[in-house]
Amino acid sequence: MVDVIVKKTGKLSGQVCASPSKSYTQRMVIASALANGTSKISNPLLSEDTEATLRAVSALGAKVKVAEGCWSVEGTVPLKGAKEPVDCGESGATLRFMIPVAALASGSSTLVFRGSFEKRPVEPLLASLRELGVKVDSGKLGGKDAVFVSGGGIAGGETSIAGNISSQFISGLMFACPMADVDTEIMITSQLESSDYVKMTQAVLVEHGVKVPAHENHIHIPAGQFYTPSNGRVPGDFSSAAFLLAAAAITSSKVQINNLDYRIVQGDKAIMVILKNMGVNGKVCENSIEIEGAGNFLEPIEVDAKNIPDLVPAIAILACYAKGTSHIFGAHRLRLKESDRLESLYLELSKMGAQITINDDGLIIEGGSPLHGAVINPHNDHRIAMACTLAGLIADGETTIQNAECVRKSYPQFFTHLKQLGAELIGGKFDR
């Protein structure tokens, strides 16, 4: 475990390049592995979660060459059953995407998850796959949660699945079912949350020649489709950049984050609307975002987080710096992330003096109370570590982030980028 010490920092300035999108990197790797030929992925994110995705597609027969700034993925059709258990790390997305993909393989595969199915459920996805003719079960392997997929293909047909647990279930089916025996009809039995992530999957599929028409509560996936190779560039990640933008907003700062394209499909670009509503001066440029923080208290806000759950940790810090009461709701799914993020934010920000109330659906934060340094346990959750680092920038004294290396999961350069912008930090070099 590595600690990072955060000192109060009144001002940030300068510019950095946004981290590449983890979500796009993972989707582009999987689509490339399903293609008959070689695809090149430029500007990919190398992190613990994307490494898990690379391991998974390699185990099923794809040939991956990793070079700095560009990966090549040679797909294989049909995929092969994994000879050894596939280590999905703690990447819930890798696990949920690859379970349906493994069903396409010619042989059986076992996928092992280092997290917990209690926190990151998969059973709704397994139930849908069974309705589509896949033999799949969950259990234990060597003390770890595991999924056992028989392989042999997907029959297709009709299935139903809830849309308010994880959009990753839907994306996983979208990857695999175009290669099913017959058309697949997916009925979504509740409101689809994080719908922009499904649109992101759809956009990646189109680049590989696969069409999946999606409607509000129904997705029709034509069978008999084939993935074609495609070369693409991974865009910058608004989910990660949100922490830097929020850091500028709560300090007297002028910061520019490059490699952010506001036109692409990313739900978390909503951070710009949130900042504007809180009174922050921001500017959207062609390939960058500029934020100017005045060092004054922000306006309180009400945020429905059902489509932007990953922004909640950053929003919580903004709310601590607002003059008044902010409400974050529609965030029940945060209890099923790497940690119970609502509980983690409540526990750790309370240590720092934040006036915060937790309920089943979100957080109520009475902003304006002075924060003080504390020893922070991020609960092995990258977004909690990053959020509490932001709180440390405006807290009196020093804040210690324990197990700070957990940021490697999605944003290995987080502390490096903050330092480049002028944050006073000790430690935190986790660049890949």
How far is the C-alpha of 393 from the C-alpha of 250, rounded, in Å?
9
For residue 293, which amino acid is it?
Answer: G
* Residue-level length of the chain: 432
Q: Is 381 considered catalytic here?
A: no
How far is the C-alpha of 14 from the C-alpha of 130, rounded, in Å?
53
373's CB contacts (< 8 A; 6+ apart) are 6, 8, 352, 392, 395, 396, 397, 398, 399, 400
Q: Could you give the 3-state DSSP secondary structure of residue 400?
A: strand
Instruction: Specify whether the CB–CB gap between 220 and 183 falls below 8 A.
Output: yes
Beta bridge partners of 294: 252
For residues 96-118, one letter each, b for 16 or more C-beta atoms within 10 angstroms of the residue's C-beta and e for the rest, the string is bbbbbbbbbbebbbbbbbebebe
How far is the C-alpha of 46 from the C-alpha of 54, rounded, in Å?
10
Interior angle at CA 410, CA 45 and CA 399, nearest 5? 135
Beta bridge partners of 323: none
Element (H, E) at 131: helix 123-131
Q: How far is CA 153 from CA 13, 170, 180, in A?
A: 53, 18, 7
Q: Could you give the 3-state DSSP secondary structure of residue 219?
A: strand
Strands of the sheet containing 288-294, edge to edge, are: 13-17, 252-258, 288-294, 281-284
Q: Tell me the two tokens of residue 215.
A: 């409607």
How far is the C-alpha of 54 from the C-alpha of 286, rounded, in Å?
31
Strands of the sheet containing 184-188, edge to edge, are: 157-161, 184-188, 218-221
User: Quick one: how many helices (H) and strands (E) in the chain?
Assistant: 12, 23
Which of 49, 237, 268, 310 does the annotation list as catalytic? Answer: 310
Beta bridge partners of 148: 110, 137
Instruction: Specify whether the CB–CB gap between 345 and 316 falls below 8 A.
Output: yes
The catalytic residues are: 310
